[in-house]
Amino acid sequence: MSYLLNDIAEKLSGDLIGDGFIKIHAPAKIEEAKVGTISFYSNDKYAKYLDTCEASAIILSKANKTAIQEGKNYVLVDNVYASLPKLLALFDPTNNPLVGIHNTAVIAENVSIGDDVYIGPYVIVESGVVIGNGVKIAGQVFIGKNVKVGHNTRLNAGVKIYHNCDIGTHCIIHSNAVIGSDGFGFAPTAVGSFDKIPQVGNVIIEDHVELGANCAIDRASIGSTIIRKGTKLDNLIHLAHNVEIGENTVMAAQAGVAGSTKLGANCMVGGQVGIVGHLTIAAKTQMQAQSGMIKSVKKENTKWYGYPAIDYNNYLRSFASFKNLPSTLEEIRSLKKRLNDLEETAK
């Protein structure tokens, strides 16, 4: 696919400097850009590439006009980073324009399907499902009974959605994510075995949520596991039964949240963070990678690090002492020996 530079400038609400009729075939990093691509500049660390950049056009901040060079083409925008999602969306091959139902899809009779929907090969849609307008469903997706999928949501290949779950509008769910599998609920018996506790709740995913590949979102034992609007989950994240994630929270890969814990809005969770069950985490809490949260956080806008997690700045000070521990111990031994020698001399 290709676009005239005029059209790109219009899409980005930017001001064009140069030839608006050149064709742009792809975006590119400024250090790798070739003729026919469009690049961007917003970080001074990349200033050294401005003179040699071969891109047919560069996106530049309106506040950075001093970087403009004669004879080159530019799109001036208010905020370069804010314009990038719009630019990359133009060249995103996953923006599926297809409409229709593949002849290998298996769809129950009492399924409601909206307008402009695409359902790919070997998809299974069970009874009672409601699929909104503009939904794109890739091959080998399974959608269980009574599931609702909101308008303009995209389900990538191999996604599995168990019965009675609700997916909002404008969501993206990446390959092999599993939504609504049973929560880990078992009751110990007198003889040492475990009886399964039926998990009769569901999962509710609100609007504009994105789930990475291989996420596992457990259904509630009773009630709902809830992911609030605007939340973004990386790959390989597990949310246990009855967890609630506040709106616009972001979680990096391999994080896990145990049952019935509630995170507030706008939290930031680093990779491999583990959060134990039945906690309440205040809004805007930040958890650094590999931290272990074992207690609730009541104050908003705090930072945590370590296992067990402690105040971020406290952790950094503690770590500075810990990494010097061998030399500190050696110094203590030396001082102890000197003290012993002095005591022997004094006798």
Give catalytic residue positions. Answer: 241
Number of residues that make up the chain = 347
DSSP state of 41: E
CA distance 174 to 211: 6
Partner residues linked to 167 by β-bridges: 149, 205
At 334 the three-state DSSP class reads helix
In 3D space, the residue among 230, 186, 235 whose CA is nearest the CA of residue 208 turns out to be: 230
CA distance 206 to 329: 54
Tokens of 31: 């250090």
Residue type, 310: I
CA distance 91 to 1: 7
* Rounded alpha-carbon distances, angstroms, from residue 131 to 115, 119, 154, 322, 328: 9, 10, 11, 56, 65
Number of other CB atoms surrounding residue 273 within 10 Å = 24
Tokens of 315: 């952790």
CA distance 310 to 275: 13
- Answer positive or negative: Cα dihedral of 312, 314, 317, 320: negative
Partner residues linked to 238 by β-bridges: 216, 256
Tokens of 202: 């569901």
